[in-house]
Amino acid sequence: MRKPLIAGNWKMNGSLSLIDRFGEACSETDLPLNVEVALMVPAPYLDAARRAFADTPMAWGGQTLHDQAAGAFTGEVSGPMLAEFEARYVLVGHSERRALFQEDDAAVLARVVAAVDVGLVPIVCVGETLEERDAGDTESVVLGQVDAVLAGLEARARERLVVAYEPVWAIGTGKTATPEQAQAVHASIRSHVNKTYSEALAEGLRLLYGGSMKAANATELLTQPDIDGGLIGGASLQVDDFLAICQSAG
Ligand code: PEP
């Protein structure tokens, strides 16, 4: 049985006071015990997140990491640094990182390896652009991005991964994939992993959907058989909306 995960991605948004508001809300709200919840905060907020969420069910994580543990890489954040702040997760290969910071499949794999090396759980983001969908290339693009990571990892490391299917055309646009569209891609990822790697890996692999998920559409997406949670951007900046999505996952 796969435990659902609801992960928020603040991107370059938020504030210390928003962390505190989430901390208070998580202490006062009964979050469903059968759901993991986490916020991926900007790196400067990691220490505040650690303090605010320490005695709550909320986990925290980073939005990217460098593939090297340390060195002359001005502005970058390393896996050991995230681990020092007790981050549990790190996003890797978000479409904004791929498009705006030129992270290709090789860079994504190197970052996943670096994350696994320090005990973080990488949430690997995959997804097609609208042009790729319109050209009928969704499956080949998405499975190619999945393989670029899985094929480069040892079996034990593969088991640590979470994959987030995020159609690029749905991120931050208010256009959500229909539950049927999302389920079809998730089912195709799971079946491919089953055939190419192992049944056990496919059965255990948590597949999140991301792309304009909000309280109003969370239930119909999260009740699809191959959708094991959500990666939430905009709605993770609103305490009530994000906690409502967590409740839907329970
Ligand atoms: C994201 O940033 O991963 C995301 C899914 O954003 P939004 O929910 O705002 O579309």
| pLDDT, mean of each 10-residue run, the chain (250 residues) | 95 98 91 93 98 95 98 98 98 97 97 98 97 97 98 96 97 92 98 98 98 96 97 97 95
pLDDT at 149: 98
Residue 94 known to be catalytic: yes
User: Is 149 a member of any domain?
Assistant: yes
Q: How far is the CA of 71 from the centre of ligand 1 (A)?
A: 31
Per the residue annotation, which of 66, 94, 103, 186 is the catalytic one?
A: 94
pLDDT at 27: 86
User: Is 87 a member of any domain?
Assistant: yes
DSSP-assigned states of every residue in 101-167? S---HHHHHHHHHHHHHTT-EEEEEE---HHHHHTT-HHHHHHHHHHHHHTTS-HHHHTT-EEEE--
pTM of the model: 0.97
pLDDT at 16: 98
User: Is 2 a member of any domain?
Assistant: no
Distance CA 240, CA 33 (A): 18
Residue 103 known to be catalytic: no
User: Is 246 a member of any domain?
Assistant: no
Pocket test of ligand 1: the residue of 231, 237, 238, 242 to mutate, having most ligand atoms within 8 Å of its CB, is: 231
Per the structure, the count of domains in the chain is 1
pLDDT at 28: 86
pLDDT at 29: 82
pLDDT at 32: 87
User: Is 136 a member of any domain?
Assistant: yes
Pocket test of ligand 1: the residue of 92, 124, 162, 213 to mutate, having most ligand atoms within 8 Å of its CB, is: 213
Q: Which residue's CA is minimally distant from atom 1 of ligand 1?
A: 233
Q: Which residue's CA is minimally distant from atom 4 of ligand 1?
A: 233
pLDDT at 33: 86
Q: Are 202 and 228 in contact (CB under 8 A)?
A: no
Domain at 205, CATH number:
3.20.20.70
User: Is 247 a member of any domain?
Assistant: no
The whole domain housing 107 covers: 7-241
